[in-house]
Amino acid sequence: MVRSVGWESRERPGSGGGIMTALPIVPDYRAQSPAVRDRFQRILERPVILSVRNLTKSYVAEDGTRTVFSGLSLDIRRREFITVIGPSGCGKSTFIRIIAGLDEATSGEVLLDGKAVAGPGPDRGMVFQGYTLFPWLTVRQNVMFGLEMRGKARVTAESEAREWLDMVGLGKFEQSYPHELSGGMKQRVAIARALANEPRILIMDEPFGALDSLTRCKMQGYLLQIWKQVDVTILFITHDLDEAVLLSDRILVMGTNPGRVVEFIENPVPRPRTSAQMIAPEFIAMKHRLDELIHPPAEIGEEEKLPMIRLTQAGEDIE
């Protein structure tokens, strides 16, 4: 049963004391039901598979050294679903590229199962926002690619590729080519290809960002279903607050100048998750907190002023 959320009237910041607006009264985002609290206790009993220790990334620019992020430290446990959010420029993509072994840190270390990450490897799968399928290969051949590169016999690779395509609901499209698929289907193939190598961690860089809203909602549901069936930890970047709350166990919030960990939050919304929970008090409280962290109160009412160049001679204002 969904509980109602109350409302109260508050003075809008920057209104000069004359404008009142109704704002929702939300519960404390840290409040957890007994079931959620028990689940996090069980998560804490799982082994840590990814450790990040004092990670820093900087580079030399014309005007001096610039720090992308500094002092990132965190632990992620087996089969957790972690989302990473933060303003543009906080270093989210650089952070996960270092974890994937596609970029190098300036200092600090990343340990996967206690071993230092020194480059790309099959123990880390990667799914990008863009569709990175090979257009000249069929759906099945795309999923087979990594398996064959690891030395598996063709017949074995074919059999395993079919299993993964069945897992993501695309078995009947195995002979299709990427250009014959919708955007959501392409991403499901990309997920199957990444999971076929049985990675310890699946890294996803805004994988649904290019999809329309309806397809995006479907893909979120598909991903949760897939995650339930596979022994994999997911590290997921998004700019969508609803998506972050809907999918994750914990949410890593990053800040800017330089990039840093602002808060690492345990999500109070109980599992299993559905879109109907988006109006639940726990969901609203979590989203409200994320919005506060990404858009601090000092920024409210501060709009960027554009140069006022009038390009119409209509002689009538629109406001």
pTM here is: 0.85
- Using the predicted structure, report yes or no on whether residue 13 has a pLDDT greater than 60: no
Omega of the bond prior to 258 within 30 degrees of 0, cis?
A: yes
How many angstroms from the chain centroid is the CA of residue 22? 31
80 vs 63 pLDDT, higher one: 80
Could you read off the pLDDT of 199-232 as tens digits, one per residue?
999 999 999 988 899 999 999 999 999 999 999 9
Three-class SS of 170-198 = CHHHCCCCHHHCCHHHHHHHHHHHHHHCC
Backbone angles phi, psi at 209, to 5 degrees: -65, -25
Domains defined along the chain, listed by start: 24-116+215-295 (3.40.50.300), 124-198 (no CATH)
Tokens of 209: 């960002």
Describe the strand order of the beta sheet including 48-61 as a list of residue ranges: 64-77, 48-61, 107-112, 115-116
CB 202 within 8 A of CB 125: yes
Closest of 143, 125, 146, 145 to residue 194, by C-alpha: 125
pLDDT at position 300: 47
- Among 154, 268, 133, CA closest to 207: 133
The pLDDT value given to residue 3? 45
| Secondary structure element (H or E) that encloses residue 37, with its range | helix 34-44
- Mean pLDDT in the chain? 87
Q: How confident is the model at residue 74 (pLDDT cuts 50, 70, 90)?
A: very high
pLDDT given at position 224: 94
- DSSP class of residue 30? T
Read off the pLDDT of residues 141-200 as tens digits, 9 standing for 90 and up. 999 998 998 899 999 999 999 999 999 999 999 999 999 999 999 999 999 999 999 999
Q: Which DSSP letter does residue 133 get?
A: -
Residues pairing with 20 in the sheet: 11
**CB-side neighbour CA atoms (13 Å) of 205:** 20
Number of other residues whose CB lies within 10 A of the CB of residue 226 = 20
Lookup: tokens for 150: 């690891």
Q: What distance in Å separates the CA atoms of residue 133 and residue 198, rounded to the nearest whole number?
A: 18
d(CA 316, CA 62): 47
pLDDT tens column, 78-106: 999 999 999 988 999 999 999 999 999 99
